[in-house]
Amino acid sequence: MNTSKKENKVLMMCLCSLFTALIAVGAFLKIPIPFVPITLQGLFTILAALLLGAKWVTLSVVLYVAIGLAGVPIFTQGVE
C-alpha cells in the first residue's frame, strides 16, 4: 500500500508540472475578441483547479510565478 501512495504522489507531481507548462503556454494563446484580450491561461488554471485540487494547483501556479520571476519571459501579453 505504501507503493501506491508513492505512485499517486509521482502522478500528481507530473500533472502539476504539466499544468504549469500549460499555464505558461496559455499566456501566448489569445482568442481574438475586440476590446478585451482573452488568453487561455485562465482556462488552464481553472481546469487545473478542477482536476488537481487546492494543494496541487497552488503549487502549480506558484511554480509558474517562480519560473517567471527567475527570468523566463512567460509574463508576456500573448502573440500579436
Angle at 67 between CA 63 and CA 69, to 5 degrees: 115
The pTM of this model reads 0.83
pLDDT tens, position by position, 8-53 = 889 999 999 999 999 999 988 888 888 887 889 999 999 999 999 8
Asked if residue 78 has pLDDT above 60, the reply is: no
DSSP 3-state of 27: coil
Q: What does the pLDDT read at residue 51?
A: 92
